Amino acid sequence: MIYLIPTPIGNLEDITLRAIRLLKEVDLILAEDTRTSQKLLNHYGINTPMQSFHMYNEHKKVSKFVTQVIHGKSIALISDAGTPGISDPGYLLVSEALKEDIKVQCLPGATALIPALLQSGLPADRFSFEGFLPTKKGRQSRLIKMAEEIRTLVFYESPHKLLKTLRHMIPYFGSNRKVAVVREISKKFESNFRGNLQAACEFFEQNPPKGEFVIVVEGLKRK
């Protein structure tokens, strides 16, 4: 059995009782960054063996871990924060496990996109999660395509690219397109900016971005 187990995105209390139990019961935990995850495991007294599994080694290690499960071991996959497989490693392990008819379960739990969407004030009945935009190749074509999207758009962005991304959106979405920029969800310095893209650019020019961000953009309004 392979379990995909969401971990807190900030506040360590945001983890389910079932997640804690399974992390104690499985034979092995695969973590994106073992140093980061060790803090969580220490907090809850979890002593399960842990190994690294991230985007730079997953292709090399995936077959070994799938073989271990075939031979009877149970494995839990966690990311640094949130649900593994959403802008984090996970897809490859799941796809390879399913080829071998290995049972995979994903527990419900923390992810940054849903809280950001729901507190944005923008329609949440239909939305498109876009993750991180390409840094170079394909960025323009993605923005052109999304400019016609009528659903609310949700993006992840790092602090050093936030202002650049907001500026890049204006030629395609328009300066008056509504946006919410949510910072450090569930953490001590969580904050929300709500306005339009032009105002967002001006705000973050005056307030240099720090922390992890979710950008929620209004969909195109049909006339």
Is the CATH number of domain 2-106 3.50.50.60? no
Q: Where in the chain is the domain with CATH 3.30.950.10?
A: 113-217
pLDDT tens per residue across span 126-184: 999 999 999 888 899 999 999 999 999 999 999 999 999 999 999 999 999 999 999 99
Asked if residue 223 has pLDDT above 70, the reply is no
pLDDT number for residue 86:
84
The Cα–Cα gap between 162 and 46 comes to: 36
Which sign, positive or negative, has the C-alpha torsion 146, 147, 152, 156?
positive
* CATH topology (fold) of 113-217: 3.30.950
- Are β-strands 213-217 and 178-183 bridged in parallel, bridged antiparallel, or unpaired? antiparallel
**This prediction's pTM:** 0.90
Which is more confident, 147 or 86? 147
| Ranges in the chain annotated CATH 3.40.1010.10 | 2-106
